[in-house]
Amino acid sequence: MLGRFKNQARHYHDDNKSNSLKLEQDKESLEITISKERIERPAISKDDIKWWVSQFGVMNLDDCDAVTRLIDTFLNCIYVYDDKMLVILNYKDCEFCVSLDEVNETINN
């Protein structure tokens, strides 16, 4: 009876040791993955965002590269139809239609 108890205890000990090693390996793997993600996608501070947005205020709109950066940042795409344009911005659920009459009026003014 005591021998059987020792065998069961040894079996449980081996299982626990095996599970513990597996958990340690999983933990190490997750820590490596988290570190890689932090390198690939560093945290952006509020001050970083404020600085980035402030750069649009001092942008020279006569500079083609600056205008291209502005458009690339905020504009996703434009679909032109016979009578309207659908403008889709890089912002959550932000799209709107502009009639071609509105476009012509803006250009002429």
Coil, helix or strand at residue 41: coil
Coil, helix or strand at residue 68: helix
From first to last of its 109 residues, the chain has per-residue pLDDT tens of 555 666 666 666 667 777 888 889 999 999 999 888 878 877 778 888 888 888 888 888 899 998 898 888 888 888 988 888 888 888 777 777 888 888 888 888 7
DSSP string, 38-104: HHHS----HHHHHHHHHHHHT--TT-HHHHHHHHHHHEEEEEE-SSEEEEEESSTT-EEEEEHHHHH
Q: Give the pair of three-digit tokens for residue 9.
A: 């205890």
- Full-model pTM: 0.43
Cα 13 from Cα 18, distance rounded (Å) = 9
